[in-house]
Amino acid sequence: MNFIIESFKQAFYLILNLDKQLLDIVVLSLKVSGIAVSIATLFGLPLGVLTGLKKFRGRSLLITLYNTFMGLPPVVVGLFLYLMLSRSGPFGFLNLLYTPTAMIIAQTILAFPIIVSLTHAATVRVNPSIKLTSFTLGATSLQTSFTIIREARYGIMVGIIAALGRVMAEVGAILIVGGNIEGYTRVMTTTIAMETDKGNFELATALGIILLAISFTINLLLFLIQKKGAIKHQWS
């Protein structure tokens, strides 16, 4: 029992002292996940909107694909990417294995289907009268598309934040392709896994507390956005 209390004490000590090692790990985690989600949004948002708005051949198949990839196990992504980036793999010449870039790629792959799928769902949910109304008011099809994206904004934000939540908490993929190299590719989740293994609970606990705080913030944000987006139900 005592060692738990001691770990927490030490953990808070690290946090309050803004321990350099701790801070570096947190910053790298935020950077890797932040960049990954940004890239996934850049490509995922337009694709989600497109499949939400346009009817074309193979659309249902594509949507099924998004949903399948949404539940992709991170270790599988890690393994796949490892094979691609390892020295004898097709992209081995890029020398990306065990770099933050490889971690960003892994998390982008994990975030992408979530963003596409939830953007698609948000776009489809927009009342059809919005499209008709914007047409009757003289909008071009591009203007109509932007209007629909604006109407779907809360659902889209939920998708982006959910993706961020998922990749921040993920450990399997980045452990495999990042290698958990001290001062270079060590992030919160991988450090927790390793330090716990070694019996160093202070750093692990400190990171655990921070990760929990981040997760709480993300979920609070989700809650606030969903609440704001639900304004239309005030009267019903």
Binding residues for another protein, rule: CB under 8 A, are: 127, 129-130, 132-140, 143, 147, 150-151, 229, 231-232, 234-235
As measured in angstroms, the least distance from the Cβ of 52 to another protein is: 16
Rounded Cα distance, 156 and 47, in Å: 12
Query: What is the dihedral sign for C-alpha 149, 155, 160, 161?
Result: positive
| Placement of tokens 């009757």 in the chain | 136
Instruction: Name which of 83 and 137 has its Cβ closer to another protein.
Output: 137
As measured in angstroms, the least distance from the Cβ of 142 to another protein is: 10
Largest CA distance in the chain: 71
Within 10 angstroms of residue 57's Cβ, the number of other Cβ atoms is 7
As measured in angstroms, the least distance from the Cβ of 137 to another protein is: 4
Query: How many Å is the Cα radius of gyration of the chain?
Result: 21
Instruction: Name which of 103 and 148 has its Cβ closer to another protein.
Output: 148
Instruction: Name which of 88 and 236 has its Cβ closer to another protein.
Output: 236
Instruction: Name which of 3 and 235 has its Cβ closer to another protein.
Output: 235
As measured in angstroms, the least distance from the Cβ of 147 to another protein is: 7
> Shortest CA distance to 153 belongs to which of 114, 118, 202?
118
- 110 Cβ neighbours under 8 A, 6+ residues apart: 36, 72, 74, 77, 163, 166, 167, 170, 173
Instruction: Name which of 76 and 132 has its Cβ closer to another protein.
Output: 132
| Placement of tokens 């990171």 in the chain | 207
As measured in angstroms, the least distance from the Cβ of 55 to another protein is: 16
